[in-house]
Amino acid sequence: MAPNSIPVTIEKSQNFSLLEVNDSDSPVFPEKQKAASTKQFTWVILLRVHRVLSCLSWLTMGFSSGLALVKKRISQSDISNEDSKYRGRLYRFIKVFLFLSIVGLAIELIAHFNKWNLHMFQPWEVEGLLHWSYMAWVSFREEYIAPIILMVSKFCVVLFLIQSLDRLVLCLGCFWIKFKKLKPTIEEDAYDIEDPSSFPMVLVQIPMCNEREVYAQSIGAACQLDWPKDRLLIQVLDDSNDAAVQLLIKDEVSSWKEKGVNIVYRHRLIRTGYKAGNLKSAMSCDYVKDYEFVAIFDADFQPNPDFLKQTIPHFKGKPDLGLVQARWAFVNKDENLLTRLQNINLCFHFEVEQQVNGHFLNFFGFNGTAGVWRIRALEDSGGWLERTTVEDMDIAVRAHLKGWKFIFLNDVKVLCELPESYEAYKKQQHRWHSGPMQLFRLCLPAIITSKISAGKKANLIFLFFLLRKLILPFYSFTLFCIILPLTMFVPEAELPLWVICYVPVTMSIFNILPAPKSIPFLVPYLLFENTMSVTKFNAMISGLFQLGSAYEWVVTKKTGRSSESDLLALAERESKSSNEEKILRRHSESGLELLGKLKEAEVPPKKKKNRIYRKELALALLLLTASARSLLSAHGVHFYYLLFQGLSFLVMGLDLIGEQVS
């Protein structure tokens, strides 16, 4: 019982009350109004000191372990391959900006401790050259720098609001589709199940390049598609330059061919045009003219057996339908924080963007895989072209200009993987954001001179390309990574609170709604998107101005996670032993020969390392410097935003998100 608690009990049970007094100074008990004992006071002080020391010890241990991790990461990371990428103008600009911000912070610290920034001084009150220089700087920034920053920030805020309005309209369209339960429909009994000849001829293409981890599961899934065997042909389009991988894929194709599957293996000696060149080469085969539709799956995609029966019937009775696109589903979305945040983005992309544009406009960007094309639509649009790194978006735009319509099936899902390492995700995003700008430069004349309606032209130019591919990365990087920290040193141009807090949080909530289980990751998602803006901005600039990095094509690294159960099986077996056992089980001379060739062609695996990314680290230091300046001005929300955004850049720069290499 507490020492100051006094219970009062009344014998009669009717209408009794219990009085508890916790204040020894209460006038109810004047005899208790005396000072606490010295011993009691000492124990209270000791308890509070113990709590403070425990907190300080916890913070010290966390800080020291963090520093040790940073030191270890820097000492073990490999930055040699990143040097050429960080010699660009953007990195030099960030370094100059960082240097100026550190100098500005030093000046503001001197002014703060000398209380120069608390009130205006008269000329005769200025003390010394340094004081005079600071007052001249304040006057200069107020008259010349602040108006420029305000003008640029207002421009970015307008773009930000336009893009937010676009997101809001898309979300309303998605809500309307859900509310009205609108779905693409198909004719009943589109094909006679008992008559295989009524099924159209379908070609399945699986382009791949050095996909050691996933080739078997993708080929196996395609070979198990439920479709008449004589009406289906599977093309395995192998661009691998690894001899061991080529042998493994050939053996896998041979094993399925022995089971009666109509499957062929194609290998190009010269890998020109990357994926577009691979698909273009496959479509040039003479037997392709016998097929009506082509389904495309990347090497890590595993369609369900009923995929073709869920997609092909939509073409029945719709001669102007060129593409049926299915949704992606991810087997490793809960693998780490990076995959969780990617899942939020892609759920919004499919659930909202693709579904709304498909329903109301009959047009969206082809996702490059998990889709079925009418071959006549591909040929009418000019076929696969090798001019950009986004051949899927290229063919979709050209087909749209020819009048072909698209359908998106949100209920048909195909399993695939998300990049688990920040390095793989960064390279993927660079390609996804530089390619559209390349394509915009090439397609703009064709869009303007095409015969489609003015509304469709406006949608393509202003919404599809400019707003969602150019403006989004531009304002995100410029407003939140450049202007916001700059305004901390030029307080006359400070951004309003609703720009950096209320509207971004609201838009993030809209983005996260298609993945409701990810709501606890709202704040990390907001910080993550702003952190990725530097990669997307750099990619957008390189694509728009045709810089060298815009033409880089790097195959996204996969791990071969085919299902949740496979995650456990993956830890129980090694790829080498599984391949040997599979070959030995065949008990054939060719299998033994293949095993010998594999051992001869075996190349020791490269040791993987986590990298450090200097652009992200420079921006982390810049934002943390700006947060320190914000602290001097007692900016509450601005300080916390800059602090946590700077820490998120630090985490990305040290490659502490995603897959960690031991």
Q: What are the tens digits of pLDDT across the range 239-254?
A: 998 899 999 999 999 9
Q: Is residue 239 among the annotated active site residues?
A: yes
Q: Which residues contact 630 (CB under 8 A, 6 or more apart)?
A: 488, 638, 639, 642
pLDDT at 565 exceeding the cut of 70: no
Of residues 567 and 87, more confidently modeled: 87
- Identify which has the larger pLDDT, 643 or 591: 643
Model confidence at 585, in pLDDT bands (50, 70, 90)?
very low
**Cβ of 496: how many Cβ atoms within 10 Å?**
11
- Residue 54 above 60 pLDDT? yes
Is a pLDDT exceeding 50 seen at residue 42?
yes
Lowest mean pLDDT segment, chosen from 115-129, 322-336, 530-544, 641-655: 115-129
Confidence of residue 92 (pLDDT cuts 50, 70, 90): confident
pTM: 0.82
Find how far residue 117's CA is from the centre of its chain: 42
- Three-state SS across 37-72? CHHHHHHHHHHHHHHHHHHHHHHHHHHHHHHHHHHH
Per-residue pLDDT at 599 exceeds 60: no
pLDDT value at position 85? 47
Which of 31-35, 95-99, 307-311, 340-344 is the least confident region? 31-35
Q: Is 352 in contact with 170 (CB distance < 8 Å)? A: yes
Cα–Cα distance list, 551 to 273, 427, 441, 470, 502 (Å): 10, 12, 14, 18, 38
Other residues' Cβ atoms within 10 Å of the Cβ of residue 657: 19
**pLDDT of the residue at 259:** 94
Which whole-number Å values give the CA distances from 289 to 83, 157, 162, 262, 370, in the listed order? 48, 52, 46, 16, 22
What does the DSSP assignment read for 85-143? GGSSHHHHHHHHHHHHHHHHHHHHHHHHHTTTTSS---GGG--HHHHHHHHHHHHHIII
Return the pLDDT at 606. 57
Task: Produce one character per residue of 417-445: b if its CB has 16 or more CB atoms within 10 Å, e if not.
Answer: bbbbbbbbbbbbbbbbbbbbbbbbeebee
| Mean pLDDT, residues 171-198 taken together | 85
Where is pLDDT greater, at 269 or 7?
Answer: 269
What residue ranges in 302-369 does DSSP mark as E strands? 321-330
Between CA 23 and CA 6 the distance in angstroms is 10
pLDDT tens string 425-445: 999 999 999 999 999 999 999
Q: Averaged over 607-622, what is the pLDDT?
A: 84
Alpha carbons 378 and 23: distance in angstroms, whole number: 84
**How does residue 94 score in pLDDT terms, banded at 50, 70 and 90?**
confident
Among 356, 365, 343, 436, CA closest to 168 = 356
Please, are residues 550 and 543 in contact by the beta-carbon 8 Å criterion?
A: yes
What average pLDDT does the segment 150-170 reach?
93
Give mean pLDDT, residues 182-186: 91
Angle of the 589-601 helix axis to the 575-585 helix axis, nearest 10: 160
Choice among 72-86, 126-140, 388-402, 583-597 with the minimum mean pLDDT: 583-597
**Choice among 140-144, 336-340, 415-419 with the minimum mean pLDDT:** 140-144
pLDDT band for 567, please (50, 70, 90 cuts): very low
Query: What rounded mean pLDDT belongs to the chain?
Result: 83
Which regions of 304-460 does DSSP assign to beta strands (E)? 321-330, 371-374, 405-416
Q: What is the pLDDT of residue 552?
A: 67
Tell me the pLDDT band of 14, cut-offs 50, 70 and 90.
low
Residue 656 pLDDT class (50, 70, 90 cuts) = confident
Q: Which residues contact 259 (CB under 8 A, 6 or more apart)?
A: 223
Q: How far is CA 422 from the centre of its chain?
A: 10
Cβ atoms of 524 and 605 within 8 Å: the answer is no
Q: Give me the catalytic one of 238, 298, 300, 392.
A: 392
Percent of the chain with pLDDT over 70: 78
User: Residue 449 pLDDT more than 90?
Assistant: yes
- pLDDT of res. 170: 96
Name the band, by pLDDT with cuts 50, 70 and 90, for residue 577: very low
- DSSP letter, residue 386: -
Q: Does 131 have pLDDT greater than 90?
A: no
Residue 293 has pLDDT above 50, yes or no: yes
pLDDT (0 to 100) of residue 171: 95
Q: Which residues pair with 408 in a beta bridge?
A: 325
Given 239, 251, 298, 300, which residue is catalytic?
239
Query: Among the listed ranges 148-162, 367-381, 564-578, which one has the minimum average pLDDT value?
Result: 564-578
- 318-357 residue pLDDT tens: 999 999 999 999 999 999 999 999 999 999 999 999 999 9
Asked if residue 356 lies in contact with residue 279, where contact means CB atoms within 8 angstroms, the answer is no
Residue 556: what pLDDT?
A: 74
Of 68 and 260, the structure prediction assigns the larger pLDDT to 260
CA atoms within 13 A on the CB side of 543: 31
Tell me: the pLDDT tens digits for 61-87? 766 766 676 666 666 665 545 545 445
Look up 83 and say whether it is catalytic. Answer: no
In the numeric block, which tokens belong to residue 52?
């403070």
Q: What is the mean pLDDT of residues 121-141?
A: 73
Mean pLDDT score, 195-215 = 91
**Distance (Å, whole) CA 334 – CA 564:** 10
Q: Please, are residues 131 and 116 in contact by the beta-carbon 8 Å criterion?
A: yes
pLDDT of amino acid 66: 65
pLDDT for the residue 568: 43
What pLDDT score was predicted for residue 76? 62
What mean pLDDT is predicted for residues 45-67?
77
